Structure 1
Amino acid sequence: MARAAGEGEVVVSRGEDGTVHVVGGPVATSDFTRAVLDVAGAVLDWPVLGGAGLPTAEIHDVQRAQQWLWAVYGEQVAAAVHACAVGELASVRVPAEPTPLAGSAARLGFGHWAARWWPASHLDGIPALQPDVLGLELAALTHTCQQLFDADDDQPDDCVAELIGDHEAALDALIQWWHSTPPSSGTARQLENVLRTVDDAADSAGLDGEALRHLRTALDRPRPDGNPVDAATLFARNDDYALAAGEPLITGGRVVARGTGTNDWRRYPPGFVDASETAVSWTARALGARRQIEVEVVAHIAAPVAEVPLAAEVRVNDGPRSRVPLSRRVDVWSGRADLDLPAGETEPHIELGVLLPGFDPGPGSYSGADREAIRALVRQRLVTAATATQLDAPNSPPQDGTSAPFLAEIAAATTDEDY
C-alpha cells in the first residue's frame, strides 16, 4: 500500500471494481462538507472546509477522463492513471502539477456547493445568495471549464445553456452594477469577465433573446461612467416574508414537554427551511387523555407558498418513527398530530427532524459541529466579500480560486435587510 500523499503529491490507485482513484489530501465524509463535480468519466470532489487544493477523483472511464486529467493534475498523474487502469500498477505516489484549470474547477465545484448548501438563516444572521447572480457566474465558470466535459449526457454539471436560460433575468442588474463600479477595481473586472464569458457561452450554445441581445450591445459599446449603485438594492427581494409574523400554535391543554429538533440540511431541498440549528421546535401537550405534538419550523425566505409535502418525523422513546404533515403560513411551517404517549409519562424522549419525502436520504449521523463549521466558513467569506468592496482599490489584482468571493457573496455582504 502506498503512503499517504505528501504536499504536491497524489496517490493513484485501482479499486477492485476497476475504478481508479486519485487522492491528494483529506476527503470529506459529510454530504454538505463536500464540493462535487460530475465530469467526463469521473466525479471530482473537494473538502469545503479544507481549503482549495487538488480534488479527489473517482474515475470510472479512464479513456474519457484523459482529456482533462493532464490539464488538472499534470502529465505524470495522467500517465499513472493509465498505468493503474491497465493493471501495470496497483497504487503509486506521483507529483502533481496544479494548473489554472484545477483552480477554475475548484471554484466551479464550490459554486455548485453554495447553490445547494449555503446555510441562509434569519435566525443566524446569514443572508441568502441571490440565485440568478450565482447562476450566471456558474454559467461563466462552466464555459471556462469546458475541457472537463464531453458530449455524453451523464454530466449534470455541464449545463451552460440551462444556467443562462434559468438566470438571464439578472443580466440587466449585473450590467448596471458593472457600469456603476470603478473600472480599474477588482469587482469591475470580475463583473466584466462574467458578462463577457456569458456572452461567449451563449453565442457558442446558439442562445438568443432580448436579455442576451442587450448584453451584447452593452459589451460592444464603450463603458459609460455610471452613477454608483448599491448591489444590495439591485438584487433586493420583493416579497412579504417577515420573520415571526405568524401567530404560534396554541391548542390549550397542559404542556408535557418542549424542545428543539434536528435540522439536517440533507433531508430537504435548498430554499425550504431556515438553516439555523434552532429552526425546528416542538411542544407536547396533554389534552385530557390525549397527547398531542405541535411542530414549528422557521421557513427559508424562498420557501414555496403552494402546498408541498414537507413533514416532520417524530420518534418517541425510541419507538417507531411517524410523520406530521406541515404547511406554510407566512414564515413558518407548522403542523400537529396525536402522540402515542402513556398518560403517566412526564419526561418523554422525543426526537424530531424535518424532511421532504421522496427527497430525503434518511436519518444520518452528521453532527451539529459540521453544520457549525460551515456557518463559520460562510460568515468569514461574507466578511471577506464586504472587505473586498470597501477596499476595492484601483489596479488591484484579479481574484480567483475558491477563496475569492463570488459576485453573489459580494451582493449578500452588502445587504441592508434584517439579518
Structure 2
Amino acid sequence: MPEASMDTHVTRAEDGTVRVGYEPAGPAFTRAVLDVAGAVLTWPVLGAQGLPAAQVHDAGRAQQWLWALYGERVAAAVHGCEAGAPAGVTVAEAEVTTLAGGAARLAFGHWAARWWPTSYMDGITRLEPDVLGLELAALTHQCHQLFDTAFGDQPDDCAAELIAEYQAALDPLVRWWLAPAQPTDTARHLDSVLRLIDDVADSAGLGGPSLRHLRASLDQRRPVGTSVDLGTLFARHRGYALAAGDPLVAGGRVITRGSGSNDWRRYPPGFVDAAEDAVSWTARAVGARRRIEVEVVADVAAPAAGAPLVAEVRVDGGRAARVPLVLRDDLWTGHADLELDVGQDLPSAAMPPRIEVGVLFPGFDPGPGAPGDAAHRDAVRALARQRLAAAARPSPYDDTHPGPFLAEIAAAAAVEEDF
C-alpha cells in the first residue's frame, strides 16, 4: 500500500484510554481487529481501507509502533492526550505508512479466518485454513513492530504457533512455488511468504521435515518443477461428515413453513453454511401435539460429534425454546414439541403463527443481532465473491482492500471443481 495521508482525530476518554480515529460502525463481522502492544486496532471490512481506529490503553507500550503506523505527529498527539493535554485534537494529513498497509492486511486475514462466509448454497468457496494460517504467520512476522513479546498478552502475536499448527500446508506451498509458468505477482507473493515463514521458524527454533524441505528449497536456485493443479494441491474437505441422529419424521398436517435467521455471530466458524436461507423450519400438527422441525445446512467442515448446536424457537413473540440439533450428512436437524402458553394454540394454515427460528451455540452466543445485520451479511457475501473473482486473476495489492491471499487464489482455482 503506497504512502498517503488523511486527517486523524485523537481524543482521551474519561477512563484514561486514548482513541485514534473513529471506530467503524456495524456488527462485529464487519470489523477487522488486531490486538497489539498497548492497544486494539480496528478497520472497516466494508469500504475503503486506510488508517485504523485505535483504542490505546497503554501509550508507553504503544509508542514502539504508533509513529511507524500513524506518523510522528499522531504519536505525539497520543502521548500528549495521555499526559493530560486537551481531550481532543485533529492531526491534519496523518501519514498512511508501509506498516499501516501490512497491519491492515494482517487484520483482514484474521477477519477472513473468523468470518469468511463459506457457502455451498451461495457459491462462496471455503478458504483452506492451513494456507491462510501460514500466510498469517508470515504477515505477523512482517508486522512484528506492532507486538511486545516481553508481555505475552497479545493473542495475535502468534507467528510460531501458526506455523506449528498449519505446517501440513508447507510442502504443497513449496510445490506451488516451484511450479513453472506462475504469474509474476503470484511467484513473488509465494517467495515472500515462504521466506518469512523460514525466518520465523529459524528464530523460534522450529523443526521438522517440512521446514527442512522449505529451507533446502530456499537455499537452492529456484528449480523448474512440474505444473500443479491448485484445485487438488491442498487437502480440502469434500462431502460431509456423518453423525448419529434421528432423521425428521414425516407425517402430520403442515401448518406453516419458513426460513429462519442465520446470524454468524451466534456460533463458531465452520458450523453452518453462511447463506441467509440456510435455516428452514416446518410447523406440523401431529394429533393433539404441535411440533417444530428445523433443518440447517451444514458447513462442509462441520464437526461430526460433540457440537451442541441448537435452534432457538419463538412463537408469536413468546418465550424462547431450544431444540437440540444433530448432524446428518449435510444438514443439522432437530424437532421438538412446541411449548405453548396456557390457552394458546397454533392457528390453522389460513392464519399461520409468527415463528422465529435462529441457530446458536450455547456458551458462545452473544445474543441476537440487530434487524439491519442481514444487509451487512449480504454486503460481506458480495465482498467475498468480488475477492474470489479478483483472486482468479491475481494483481498487485491496491488501496481499496488488501490484495488476494494465497488461500483466496487457491480457492478461486477450485471454484469450478467444488461448485
Structure 2 length as normaliser, TM-score?
0.92
| Preserved contact between residue 237 and residue 300 of structure 2 (Cα < 8 Å) | no
| Preserved contact between residue 183 and residue 189 of structure 1 (Cα < 8 Å) | no
SS in 1 for 2:46: helix
| Preserved contact between residue 182 and residue 188 of structure 1 (Cα < 8 Å) | no
- For residues 417 and 396 of structure 2, the distance between their equivalents in structure 1, rounded to whole angstroms, comes to 30
- How many residues of Structure 1 are paired with residues of Structure 2 in the alignment? 404
| Preserved contact between residue 263 and residue 280 of structure 1 (Cα < 8 Å) | yes
- For residues 233 and 192 of structure 1, the distance between their equivalents in structure 2, rounded to whole angstroms, comes to 21
Q: Which amino acid aligns with 1:230?
A: D
- For residues 286 and 9 of structure 1, the distance between their equivalents in structure 2, rounded to whole angstroms, comes to 62
Partner of 1:374: 380
Q: Which amino acid aligns with 1:354?
A: V
Residue 27 (structure 1) aligned to one of 24, 28, 34: 24
Residue 385 (structure 1) aligned to one of 391, 402, 410: 391
Contiguous gaps of at least 5 residues in structure 1: 1-5, 389-395
Q: For residues 203-230 of structure 1, what are the alpha-carbon distances to aligned partners after superposition, in whole Å with 9 as ceiling and x for unaligned?
A: 1111111111111111111211112212
Question: What is the CA distance between 1:379 and its match in structure 2?
Answer: 0.6
Question: What is the CA distance between 1:337 and its match in structure 2?
Answer: 0.5
Q: Which amino acid aligns with 1:417?
A: E
Q: Percent identity?
A: 64
- For residues 13 and 280 of structure 2, the distance between their equivalents in structure 1, rounded to whole angstroms, comes to 45
- For residues 288 and 85 of structure 1, the distance between their equivalents in structure 2, rounded to whole angstroms, comes to 69
Residues 369, 181 of structure 1: alpha-carbon distance in 2 compared, 3 angstrom cutoff: farther
| Preserved contact between residue 390 and residue 404 of structure 2 (Cα < 8 Å) | yes
Residue 149 (structure 1) aligned to one of 125, 147, 154: 147
Residue 52 (structure 1) aligned to one of 41, 44, 49: 49
- For residues 28 and 181 of structure 1, the distance between their equivalents in structure 2, rounded to whole angstroms, comes to 45
Residues 181, 51 of structure 1: alpha-carbon distance in 2 compared, 3 angstrom cutoff: farther
- For residues 401 and 65 of structure 1, the distance between their equivalents in structure 2, rounded to whole angstroms, comes to 26
Q: How does 1:253-272 map to 2 (within 5 A)?
A: 253-272=252-271
Q: Which amino acid aligns with 2:251?
A: G
Q: For residues 228-276 of structure 1, what are the alpha-carbon distances to aligned partners after superposition, in whole Å with 9 as ceiling and x for unaligned?
A: 2121110252543299xx9973330000111000000000011000000
Contiguous gaps of at least 5 residues in structure 2: none
Q: Which amino acid aligns with 2:122?
A: D
Residues 223, 10 of structure 1: alpha-carbon distance in 2 compared, 3 angstrom cutoff: same
Residues 362, 222 of structure 1: alpha-carbon distance in 2 compared, 3 angstrom cutoff: same
- What value does the CA root-mean-square deviation take over the aligned residues? 2.1
Question: What is the CA distance between 1:402 and its match in structure 2?
Answer: 3.8
Partner of 2:67: 70
Q: How does 1:208-219 map to 2 (within 5 A)?
A: 208-219=207-218
Partner of 2:173: 174
Question: What is the CA distance between 1:343 and its match in structure 2?
Answer: 5.0
- For residues 284 and 400 of structure 2, the distance between their equivalents in structure 1, rounded to whole angstroms, comes to 52
Q: Which amino acid aligns with 1:414?
A: A
Residues 310, 238 of structure 1: alpha-carbon distance in 2 compared, 3 angstrom cutoff: closer
Question: What is the CA distance between 1:364 and its match in structure 2?
Answer: 1.5
Question: What is the CA distance between 1:139 and its match in structure 2?
Answer: 0.2
- For residues 385 and 339 of structure 1, the distance between their equivalents in structure 2, rounded to whole angstroms, comes to 47
Q: How does 1:167-316 map to 2 (within 5 A)?
A: 167-182=166-181, 185-237=184-236, 239-241=238-240, 249-316=248-315
SS in 1 for 2:417: coil
Residue 349 (structure 1) aligned to one of 334, 338, 354: 354
Q: Which amino acid aligns with 2:162?
A: L
Q: Which amino acid aligns with 1:377?
A: L
Report which stretch shifted further, 227-236 or 348-357. Answer: 227-236
Partner of 1:104: 102
- For residues 399 and 130 of structure 2, the distance between their equivalents in structure 1, rounded to whole angstroms, comes to 20
SS in 2 for 1:58: strand
- For residues 249 and 36 of structure 2, the distance between their equivalents in structure 1, rounded to whole angstroms, comes to 51
Q: For residues 41-73 of structure 1, what are the alpha-carbon distances to aligned partners after superposition, in whole Å with 9 as ceiling and x for unaligned?
A: 000000000221000000011100010000000
Q: Which amino acid aligns with 2:376?
A: D
The answer to whether residue 115 in structure 2 is matched with residue 117 in structure 1 is yes
SS in 1 for 2:156: coil
Residues 343, 267 of structure 1: alpha-carbon distance in 2 compared, 3 angstrom cutoff: closer
Partner of 1:364: 369
SS in 1 for 2:359: strand
| Preserved contact between residue 181 and residue 187 of structure 1 (Cα < 8 Å) | no
- For residues 399 and 207 of structure 1, the distance between their equivalents in structure 2, rounded to whole angstroms, comes to 34
Q: Which amino acid aligns with 2:295?
A: E
Residues 7, 193 of structure 1: alpha-carbon distance in 2 compared, 3 angstrom cutoff: closer
Q: Which amino acid aligns with 1:52?
A: Q
- For residues 275 and 314 of structure 1, the distance between their equivalents in structure 2, rounded to whole angstroms, comes to 19
| Preserved contact between residue 104 and residue 401 of structure 1 (Cα < 8 Å) | no
- For residues 137 and 249 of structure 1, the distance between their equivalents in structure 2, rounded to whole angstroms, comes to 42
Partner of 1:392: none
Q: How does 1:74-85 map to 2 (within 5 A)?
A: 74-85=71-82
Q: For residues 319-355 of structure 1, what are the alpha-carbon distances to aligned partners after superposition, in whole Å with 9 as ceiling and x for unaligned?
A: 1111000000011000000013415454111111000
Residue 84 (structure 2) aligned to one of 84, 87, 93: 87
| Preserved contact between residue 396 and residue 403 of structure 2 (Cα < 8 Å) | no
Q: Which amino acid aligns with 2:358?
A: G
Partner of 1:393: none
Structure 1 length as normaliser, TM-score?
0.92
- For residues 211 and 28 of structure 1, the distance between their equivalents in structure 2, rounded to whole angstroms, comes to 42
SS in 1 for 2:393: helix
| Preserved contact between residue 314 and residue 353 of structure 1 (Cα < 8 Å) | yes
